[in-house]
Structure 1
Amino acid sequence: MRLILVTPAKPGSKAGNRATAERWKTLLANAGHSVRVVTEYDGEPCDALIALHAWRSAGAIRRFRETWPEKPLIVALTGTDIYHHQHEYPEQTLYSMNVADALIGLHGLVADDIPAGLAEKLVTLYQSAEGPESFPEPEMDSKSNRFGVCVIGHLRHEKDSLRAAYAARLLPGYSRIEVVCAGKAHNDEWQRKAEREMAENPRFRWLGELDQADTRQLMVNSQVMVISSIMEGGANVVSEACRAGLPVLASDIPGNVGLLGPDYGGYFPVGNEEALAELLNRAETDPGFLATLAQQVGKLAERFLPEKEQASLEQALQLAMQRCSERC
């Protein structure tokens, strides 16, 4: 099929939407499709359109549906679509969701948080990541006695990006924990926050935005990853941690529980640095707890294989074609 994939993230961006679009392009090409990734859609013909982000891509979705009403349309839902935009901007977001022939959700609990009538056209897709063989060896440095905690993702409100740093302030004096944050600041305010925290908190370092190789090096140099988001559509960094065997401490939001499962042992209440500090202290001081988390993420690793993500994309295409055929 000749496919057009719309993402709001421009070429060269390290935003999650761009990384997802490029990965899907590769997976769909591996399945024999021809895929073009665009940030703007002007009505050009294709066999089907896949749009990342119901709200941000609403203009492209409307243009495609009005120009090609008889062709399949797939909309992938982000965390902000599900947990913010469908309530804040219902007209555009729900339009995109309603006119889609198939929806893609990136974690297993998405059906609970979208209108009930849309669940029948929802395909759950777990974003994939490369396996341990693609990760470098841990670096040996002068801080070999440190207990590394990584936080990976752009610094912004939805990610609650400094929660681990705040938790680190509450740790006992003997703790060896160092929180290292990698990600671009969303705006000047977040940059000032990160710089101030680094100046005031000796347990915190902010590295700014890293490339893929340096991000993977940070992960293998860490003993634990924290994902403290207040909303997530299904963060790919969780997939990467599971494939790398890196234990995760996660806020107990649907986007994390929908990836790690309800029985995962590393959750803390969203926004609660006291509870996160307790988990961090336990991870550092209780080898059995850390080993249990490592075992749990190891068992989840197969959920995030590239071939499974490719199969889910094919499932979404088939569902969209079937529903389009019935509709037309």
Structure 2
Amino acid sequence: MSRFRRLRLCLVTPALAAANNGNWHTASRWARMLDGPFDVLLTDRWRGEPADVLLALHARRSADSIAAWAQAQPDRPIALALTGTDLYRDIHVDAAAQRSLALAARLIVLQERAADDLPAEHRGKAVVCFPSVEPLPEAAAAERPALPPPLRLLMVGHLRAEKDPATAWGALRQLAGRGGWVLDHLGGALDEALARQARALQAELPAYRWLGALPHAQTRERMARAHLLVHPSVIEGAATVIVEAVAAGAPVLASRIPGNVGLLGAGYPGLFEPGDAAGLAALLSECLDDPAMLAALSEAAARRAPLFEPAREQATLRAMLADLLEMPRP
């Protein structure tokens, strides 16, 4: 990569720092990882600034930048990172997103099942780049209280339909007759109807606490103290919260959707069918009743942890861009 050290990379993300969402965290992390070999311009839209390569997040929301780049300088390559809404909705129904796929020379996907959802003619352009997080300081990682109960459960996700908090709430109601657990729910109220349901559940079940959105550092500290993350999403590209939980040593109970399976592995023992509150309740009960279940989850999560190391993500990105810049235009 040394001969590319002075090349300029335009990194386009539809969400900048104020959004504080997954797209922004991915873009800011990649900008740091690519700084050095590249002079990185991080922006929400390409406005004609001089650059040698375009790396864009989101096929639909960055479609204008991708199209403008391809028209203005068709000899300079485009890499496109696909989000969950790209993979599981937009590229199948939206013409602008489909155009972005066709214009990109490389398609970056964030988990090992994602390429299955690409149109067949584009799968050969896919590069799997698992997301990463910096490890927690040892002091924070050592804070997790030892069992016995209560089993400390954590759910992280804004209140919106895609995160499907209602399935988790249904599972918790099935555990209402037994003690030994508490669940803290972190996330802002993006859907007022779901916020009303969260408040009602707090009144109904004292073991459930909806704490709203917290700063990222505080969220990670709570992961370090949790025994188990509950993640019931119905649509997900590659959930940062799963990567953060595994890196913090907290195993996960997650819905069996491609975005979660692609991070945790098809044989991971903590998967339940999406929308299946009874299935999630059964897994939670098993964790409460059988210490071996929690140990098995922890061991399975630990086996996936090396996939999420920063050095691996950085090496994958740099190798992909080196290859892209050396190849002829397709």
TM-score, normalised with respect to structure 2: 0.92
> Would you say 1:2 and 2:8 are equivalent positions?
yes
* Paired residues of 2:186 and 2:212 also in contact (CA < 8 A): yes
**Residue correspondence of structure 1 range 142-181 to structure 2 within 5 A:** 145-171=149-175, 173-181=177-185
> Would you say 1:68 and 2:60 are equivalent positions?
no
What is the SS of the residue equivalent to 1:74? strand
- Name which of 53, 57, 72 aligns with 1:52: 57
Give the AA of the match of 1:252: R
What is the SS of the residue equivalent to 2:40? strand
- CA displacement at 1:234 relative to structure 2: 1.0
Deviating above 4 A after TM superposition, structure 1's stretches of 4 or more consecutive aligned residues are none
- Can you list the C-alpha shifts for 1:161-181, whole angstroms capped at 9, x where unaligned? 342222111015223222211
- Can you list the C-alpha shifts for 1:261-286, whole angstroms capped at 9, x where unaligned? 11111000001000000001111221
> Would you say 1:13 and 2:12 are equivalent positions?
no
Give the AA of the match of 2:80: V
- Can you list the C-alpha shifts for 1:200-226, whole angstroms capped at 9, x where unaligned? 333321111111221012112211001
State which drifts further: 158-167 or 239-248: 158-167
> Would you say 1:251 and 2:255 are equivalent positions?
yes
Quote the residue 2:4 is aligned against. Answer: none
Give the AA of the match of 1:268: F
What is the SS of the residue equivalent to 2:19? coil
> Would you say 1:199 and 2:239 are equivalent positions?
no
- Can you list the C-alpha shifts for 1:120-154, whole angstroms capped at 9, x where unaligned? 111001000122436614277xxx94211111122
- Name which of 289, 296, 300 aligns with 2:300: 296
Q: Give the RMSD, CA atoms, in angstroms.
A: 1.9
What is the SS of the residue equivalent to 1:169? helix
TM-score, normalised with respect to structure 1: 0.93
* Paired residues of 1:165 and 1:203 also in contact (CA < 8 A): no
Runs of 5+ in structure 2 lacking a partner? 1-6
What is the SS of the residue equivalent to 1:46? coil
What is the SS of the residue equivalent to 2:18? coil
> Would you say 1:115 and 2:119 are equivalent positions?
yes
- Name which of 91, 106, 109 aligns with 1:105: 109
Supply the distance in 2 between the matched residues of 1:135 and 1:240 (Cα, whole angstroms). 16
**Residue-pair matches, total:** 322
Supply the distance in 2 between the matched residues of 1:6 and 1:196 (Cα, whole angstroms). 40
Higher relative contact order (CA 8 A, sep 6+): 1
- Can you list the C-alpha shifts for 1:28-61, whole angstroms capped at 9, x where unaligned? 11x5221121112212110111111111111111
Identity of aligned residues (%): 39
- CA displacement at 1:24 relative to structure 2: 0.5
What is the SS of the residue equivalent to 2:108? strand
* Paired residues of 1:123 and 1:315 also in contact (CA < 8 A): no
Supply the distance in 2 between the matched residues of 1:148 and 1:305 (Cα, whole angstroms). 26
- Can you list the C-alpha shifts for 1:54-108, whole angstroms capped at 9, x where unaligned? 111111111111112111111100011010112332x011111110010000110
- CA displacement at 1:314 relative to structure 2: 1.3
Runs of 5+ in structure 1 lacking a partner? none
Give the AA of the match of 2:31: K
Quote the residue 1:280 is aligned against. Answer: 284
- Can you list the C-alpha shifts for 1:304-324, whole angstroms capped at 9, x where unaligned? 00010001111321343244x
Supply the distance in 2 between the matched residues of 1:193 and 1:45 (Cα, whole angstroms). 50
